[in-house]
């Protein structure tokens, strides 16, 4: 899961991209970068947060009326600093000039590598979109027809999920163009302002840079924008869209919209349904900040149990997307304070978005009890996570899921409650989640393999079998 942005128009775009990256920082905290183009390539990228990478004025202001930016949450490559630096995006080639950023996971790298003579410079799967696209555009005079043809060939080869942005140049007329996978697993939206256009992961970017939302880019589409603001679009592969349910549950910010659905409203509705599905007699509803707040609002409104802030967040970091378990634990330990005046002698309903490994929630339950909570009842806005995601979320081993036992059995909620020290545990049902979202989603991680799009289920099973053997490479697809 990453954040991407691309802007093109009649004036410099560097500052707009810089500000946009802050609006999508939550989508990736391992590296950040931007590239602008004016006939020359101006690129800055490194490991770390946006504020750390762009720490000088000369890095923020670079020439060019077209550019792309990226915040990375790594799902490929190692997690050491050198790897994070190496795999930072944007990535680019010079012959032909082609730059790209991407959100998702292209999992058939072995197959694609056989069909390109170019060697990848990094471990990141952006290479398996960039290299074949460059092959298709090599020694061709750029036009919208040439780009459409190249994109169609790449999209028919790549397997997995992708919303990707590219910059290409014919020498006189640079193009910003985008492709989305047929199921539109990863979000991509289009905005505009005074002849300038922006393609990005979340609608909240438009508020940050004062652009107007135009549309969600459909799945299986190519959209091309030239420097004059002309837009050319084709939906090359049409299938029922299945956006990632975890965008609604966790990744997207509540002030964003996905397929015209408010993320905030969806989470509040999930909270209401949680109260209906798993009622409990208690004194207060307490959210885990910030991820549980909207669910807790809905739960409180539906149940009539008052909402109170029993936890305070001290650090603005997301534990789920930290690169190591040690760093996840550190965020939890250093990032929360417990209010005895709120929690003491209370029967507490603790609300959060999801449980993956169980490490965080276990620590929080312990903290609540130390602060004087009489009972702790957990309610979760996502069904139990039981299988790895192969489409862009870093849940790569089934061993990481508290909901699965070592022999592969799905644990009951009562068993998990005992493990984390809670008095009770209730998850939203799959039906409740789908009802709250309002349309079908990709939910392979909670309903394996049937929750994956139909065309990807066999591959997911092969990848799962490889994972069971301790393999992390994708040779199993050969």
Query: What burial class does residue 154 get, using C-beta atoms within 10 Å of its C-beta: 0-12 exposed, 13-18 middle, 19+ buried?
Result: buried
pTM (two decimals): 0.92
The string of DSSP letters for 204-248 reads HHHHHHTPEEEEEPPTTEEEEEETT--EEEEE-S------BHHII
Q: Which residue stretches of the chain have pLDDT < 70? A: 74-79, 315-334, 395-399, 468, 470-478
Alpha carbon 40 to chain centroid distance? 31
According to the model, what pLDDT value does residue 75 have? 57
Alpha carbon 422 to chain centroid distance? 29
Beta bridge partners of 7: 67, 198
According to the model, what pLDDT value does residue 189 have? 98
Query: What burial class does residue 148 get, using C-beta atoms within 10 Å of its C-beta: 0-12 exposed, 13-18 middle, 19+ buried?
Result: middle
Q: At what angle do helices 413-420 and 359-370 cross, to 10 degrees?
A: 60
Catalytic residues: 2
The conformation of residue 159, written as its DSSP 8-state character, comes to -
According to the model, what pLDDT value does residue 326 have? 53
According to the model, what pLDDT value does residue 21 have? 98
CATH number of 262-477: 3.40.50.2020
CA distance 40 to 351: 50
CA distance 301 to 48: 39
According to the model, what pLDDT value does residue 192 have? 98
Q: Residue ranges of the domains in the chain?
A: 3-241, 262-477
According to the model, what pLDDT value does residue 250 have? 94
Which two tokens mark 17? 């991209």
Candidates 2.40.128.20, 3.60.20.10, 3.40.50.1000, 3.40.190.10; CATH matching 3-241: 3.60.20.10
CA distance 428 to 391: 23
According to the model, what pLDDT value does residue 330 have? 47
Per residue in 153-209, pLDDT (tens digit) is 999 999 999 999 999 997 778 999 999 999 999 999 999 999 999 999 999 999 999
């Amino acid at each position: 899961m990453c954040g991407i942005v691309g802007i093109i128009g009649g004036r410099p775009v560097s500052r707009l991209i810089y500000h946009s990256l802050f609006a999508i920082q939550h989508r990736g905290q391992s590296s950040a970068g931007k590239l602008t183009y004016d006939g020359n390539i101006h690129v800055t990228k490194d490991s770390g947060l946006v504020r750390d990478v762009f720490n000088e004025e000369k890095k923020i202001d670079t020439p060019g009326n077209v550019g792309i930016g990226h915040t990375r949450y790594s799902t490929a490559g190692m997690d050491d600093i050198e790897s994070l630096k190496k795999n930072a995006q944007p990535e680019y080639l010079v012959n032909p000039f082609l730059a790209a950023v991407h959100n998702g996971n292209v999992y058939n790298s072995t197959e694609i590598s056989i069909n390109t003579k170019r060697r990848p410079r990094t471990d990141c799967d952006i290479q398996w979109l960039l290299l074949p696209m460059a092959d298709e555009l090599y020694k061709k005079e750029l036009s919208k027809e040439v780009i459409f043809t190249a994109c169609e060939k790449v999209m028919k080869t790549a397997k997995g999920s992708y919303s990707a942005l590219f910059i290409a140049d014919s020498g006189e007329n640079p193009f910003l163009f985008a492709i989305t996978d047929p199921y539109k697993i990863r979000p991509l939206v289009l905005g505009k302002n005074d002849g300038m256009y922006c393609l990005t992961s979340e609608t909240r970017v438009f508020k940050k840079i004062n652009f107007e939302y135009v549309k969600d880019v459909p799945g299986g589409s190519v959209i091309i924008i030239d420097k004059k603001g002309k837009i050319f679009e084709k939906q090359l592969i049409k299938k029922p869209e299945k956006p990632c349910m975890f965008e609604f549950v966790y990744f997207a910010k509540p002030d964003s919209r996905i397929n015209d659905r408010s993320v905030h409203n969806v989470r509040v509705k999930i909270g209401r349904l949680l109260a209906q599905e798993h009622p409990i007699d208690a004194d207060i509803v307490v959210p885990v900040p910030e991820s549980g707040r909207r669910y807790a609002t809905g739960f409180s409104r539906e149940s009539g149990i008052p909402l109170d802030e029993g936890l305070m967040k001290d650090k603005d970091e997301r534990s789920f997307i930290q690169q190591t378990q040690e760093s996840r634990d550190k965020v939890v330990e250093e990032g929360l304070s417990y209010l005895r005046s709120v929690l003491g002698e209370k029967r507490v309903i603790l609300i959060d978005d999801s449980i993956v490994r169980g490490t965080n929630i276990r620590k929080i339950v312990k903290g609540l009890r130390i602060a004087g909570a009489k009972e702790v009842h957990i309610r979760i806005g996502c069904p139990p996570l039981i299988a790895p995601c192969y489409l862009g979320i870093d849940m790569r081993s089934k061993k990481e899921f508290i909901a699965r036992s070592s022999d592969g059995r799905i644990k009951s909620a009562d068993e998990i409650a005992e493990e984390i020290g809670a008095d009770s545990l209730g998850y939203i049902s799959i039906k409740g989640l789908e009802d709250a979202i309002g349309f079908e989603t990709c939910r392979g991680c909670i309903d394996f393999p049937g929750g994956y799009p139909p065309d990807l289920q066999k591959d997911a099973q092969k990848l799962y079998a490889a994972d069971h053997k301790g393999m992390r490479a994708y040779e199993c697809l050969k």
